[in-house]
């Protein structure tokens, strides 16, 4: 979890998944977006793991963070 000076929090969740779409050789990773009760999330599955970046941010800043997380995880 990260909290900025303004008190906005963003949390990265991850866990292993057992699904055909999580195959290690899967070349396509697609971010999906969900929004509910003032919170938003971008989530994706890659190389056998599921990831969700959740926070009370607008869609575009949250997408920029999700893209950077994906990049820094070496995906």
Task: Give residue 75's pLDDT.
Answer: 65
Task: Give residue 20's pLDDT.
Answer: 60
Give the C-alpha separation, 34 to 25, whole Å.
26
Task: Give residue 19's pLDDT.
Answer: 62
Task: Give residue 4's pLDDT.
Answer: 86
Task: Give residue 74's pLDDT.
Answer: 83
Q: What is the mean pLDDT of each run of 10 residues along the chain (75 residues)?
A: 91 87 57 93 93 94 95 85
What are the backbone dihedrals phi and psi of residue 10, each rounded to the nearest 5 degrees, phi first?
Answer: -135, 135
């Amino acid at each position: 979890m990260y909290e900025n000076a303004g008190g906005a929090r963003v949390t990265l969740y991850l866990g292993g998944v057992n699904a055909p779409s999580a195959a290690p050789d899967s070349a396509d990773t697609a971010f999906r977006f969900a929004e509910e009760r003032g919170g938003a999330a971008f989530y994706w599955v890659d190389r056998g793991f599921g990831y969700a970046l959740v926070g009370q941010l607008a869609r575009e800043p949250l997408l920029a963070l999700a893209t950077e997380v994906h990049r820094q995880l070496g995906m």
